[in-house]
Chains A and B, each alone.
Chain A
Amino acid sequence: MEIDPFIFRLSIFVLSIFVGYFVVWSVTPSLHTPLMSVTNAISSVIIVGAIVAASGLTSQTGFELSNILGFVAIFLAAINIFGGFLVTQRMLQMYKKKKKEK
């Protein structure tokens, strides 16, 4: 019997949870706020779904509701991607300055 591809995805999912578990425990507590903002930024990778949604035209007549939902989702995810990474960078920059001054 052939293995359902779902099982492969489930394996990736479960193993990633384990990776996440160990990686996050090694994050130093003083960087927990940047951790939250960077996880927020990377979870916006949902934008790939939004791009598929926005570009999937079913008819040549114009945009369907599904496309418009995609455009809005791209907009929201883009705020998050730029905002999340940049604010993380800004915070991490503050952790650098001190080391030099000392």
Chain B
Amino acid sequence: MTPNLAASLYLISGMLFILALRGLSSPETSRQGNLFGVLGMVLAIVVTFLSVDILSNSFVIIICALSIGGAIGAFIAYRISMTAMPQLVAGFHSLVGLAAVLVALSAYYNPEAFDLGKPNNIKIANLVEMSIGASIGAITFTGSIIAFLKLQGIMSGSSIIFKGQHFINLILGIGIACLIFYVTIDQSNFIFWTLIIISFLIGVLLIIPIGGADMPVVISMLNSYSGWAAAGIGFTLENTALIITGALVGSSGAILSYIMCKGMNRSFFNVILGGFGGTNLTSQEKNKDRKPVKSGNAEDAAFLMKNASSVIIVPGYGMAVAQAQHAIREMADNLKRNGVNVTYAVHPVAGRMPGHMNVLLAEANVPYDEVFELENINNDFASTDVAFVIGANDVTNPVAKTDPDSPIYGMPILDVEKSKSVLFVKRSLSPGYAGIDNELFYRDNTLMLFADAKKMTEDIVKKLD
């Protein structure tokens, strides 16, 4: 295949990837979009096979690597539970990162295969591109592994902060920039490896200070990084498909990070530089002498909801942990049979990744047109009889609107307190991720249901029958 034809076909492959993302603008077109993505990938791989001279013995190994990897991937895709999506995506990001590092290393050792010049005499521009690609890939790799370990619960989800952390990161960042510059002068393997190892290190250091509920930002950010790494390699290989894809994925991840940060009313740097730092002692002490909370049982909740004309269900990460989504759907079906209007309200940062709640509800067969985003449903709380909050906490805390001293002040929240009564399913009164008390617990129209989310919902279903 001539290079010009190959380049044109890579361009088509890039266009198919754009259509793949475009398809996701609505659930109806999304499956078609995914098909475009698959076509683009197949096209890119076939074109590559036709443009390189492959000796038969390496061809066999390539096919083996493809099929074993493919089988493992397919197996994971079918077996993974939907609640484990965040760690799966984090795990997949780490693979893209590592693949980028390996391709860059291979190009460094054998630039002739890539038309980049001779070993130790690679063109400067290519050298810079592949160093950047390798460095970002390495950061993506270790960063995603830490994110994976945290989401999987192997590593503590709380933030790990030590003295001088930002200073070390700064030094390492400057070190990477210097090494990329130095590689262009002295193309030794040692320097290239040092660059990669420092990048591995900084990936770890960047992610360990970030706590559980900030994970949506981290995952989106790593998504973005994996794209930029691919684009860097694309420049090195002079491959249009890779450049287009890298840019698409990079901007997609960046936009998602932005949406997540906005959902928490925090700046990107605030999130990246580590957790909700200083504990807000004042607001915690204030709550010491609060009046007692009202707590109820499944029967009270069933009675309240059965006699309501409208119920809004507000799911949060707790729902995912308890795997309560199926029970919730059952409860909603039951209520609907009783003539109750049931809808769902999803906060942008509910869960551990963008859209986490939506996927879980979709898994439980909740029709997607009953699930609303914050801005589309927030006005409805005032005219709603019951808000059923399950596994969410900080995203409903009215303090975000009233107390300028609160760490979550200014964060957009779901106005559940405006509904006639609030049912709050929670295991205890402990504060949420931000470490602040939710004054909603102490309101007159709030009924606390202390139990595991799934168990409580199942009990309510029984009482409804």
The reply to whether A98 and B34 contact each other, CB–CB distance below 8 Å, is no
Task: Indicate whether B37 reaches chain A with its CB closer than 8 angstroms.
Answer: yes
A85-102, CB < 8 A from B? 85-99, 101-102
Contacts across chains A and B counted by CB atoms under 8 Å: 387
| Interface of A, helix, strand, loop or mixed by DSSP | helix
Chain B residues closer than 8 Å to A102, beta-carbon distance: 367, 369
CB distance from B269 to the nearest CB of A (A): 21
The residue that B98 contacts in the complex, of A65, A74, A76, with Cβ under 8 A, is: A76
Contact of B48 among A40, A51, A80, A83 (CB under 8 A): A51
Say yes or no for B95: interface residue by CB 8 A criterion: yes
Provide a sorted-by-A list of 13 A–B residue pairs whose CB atoms are within 8 angstroms.
A14-B247, A27-B24, A29-B348, A34-B24, A36-B253, A42-B17, A46-B103, A50-B103, A71-B62, A81-B73, A91-B362, A95-B362, A98-B365
Within A18-37, the residues touching B (CB, 8 Å) are 19-21, 23-37
Q: A53-B103, A90-B77 are in contact. Are A31 and B95 (CB under 8 A)?
A: no
From known contacts A40-B92, A79-B70, A83-B76, infer whether A57 and B55 are also in contact, taking CB-CB under 8 Å.
yes
Q: Is the CB of B238 within 8 A of A5?
A: yes
Taking a contact as CB atoms under 8 Å apart, the answer to whether A65 and B109 are in contact is yes
Q: How distant is the Cα of A99 from the Cα of B356 in the complex, in angstroms?
A: 20
Beta-carbon contact of A38 and B24 below 8 Å: yes
Measured CB to CB, the nearest residue on chain B to A19 is B18
The smallest C-beta distance from B143 to any residue of chain A, in angstroms, reads 14
A9 to B243, CA, bound (A): 8
- Nearest chain B residue, comparing its CB with the CB of A37: B89
| Stretch in contact with the other chain, from B223-231, B271-279, B393-401, B422-430 | B223-231
Cβ contact of B248, chosen from A16, A70, A71, A77, cutoff 8 A: A16
Report Cα–Cα, A58/B251, bound state, in Å.
37
A contacts, CB < 8 Å to B: 5-6, 9, 12-14, 16-17, 19-21, 23-58, 63-67, 69-99, 101-102
Let me know if B209 is at the binding interface, CB within 8 A. no
A42 touches B249 (CB 8 A): yes
* Top 3 closest pairs, chain A to chain B, by CB: A56-B113, A78-B69, A32-B355
Among candidates B78, B96, B247, residue contacting A90 with C-beta atoms closer than 8 Å: B78
User: Would you call the interface of chain B mostly helix, strand, loop, or mixed?
Assistant: helix
Chain B window 20-44, contacts with chain A (Cβ cutoff 8 Å), 1 for yes, 0 for no? 1110111110110110011011001
What's the nearest-Cβ distance from chain B to residue A92, in Å?
Answer: 5
Which residues from chain B contact A36 at a C-beta distance below 8 Å? 89, 219-220, 223, 253, 256, 353-355
Most buried by A among B102, B233, B250, B358: B102
Given A44-B96, A86-B78, A95-B27, CB of A25 within 8 Å of CB of B255? yes
Cα-based distance from A47 to B365 in the complex (angstroms): 36
Pick from B58, B78, B248: contact of A19, CB under 8 Å: B248
Which residue, of B25, B73, B76, has the highest number of chain A Cβ atoms within 10 A?
A: B73
Q: Which residues in A have their C-beta under 8 angstroms from that of B10?
A: 48
Once the chains bind, are A56 and B110 in contact (CB under 8 Å)? yes
In the complex, the answer to whether B240 meets A12 with C-beta atoms within 8 Å is: yes
Q: Looking at the assembled complex, report how far the CB atom of B313 sits from the nearest CB atom of chain A, in whole angstroms.
A: 15
B354 touches A17 (CB 8 A): no
Give Cα A41 to B38, complex, Å. Answer: 9
Residue of B nearest to A44 (CB): B96
Is B112 an interface residue, CB under 8 A from the partner? yes
User: Across the interface, do B27 and A56 meet the contact criterion of CB distance under 8 Å?
Assistant: no
User: In the complex, which residues of chain A have a beta carbon less than 8 angstroms from the beta carbon of B233?
Assistant: 46, 49
Does B380 have its Cβ within 8 Å of any Cβ on chain A? no
CB within 8 Å of A: which B239-263 residues = 239-253, 255-256, 259
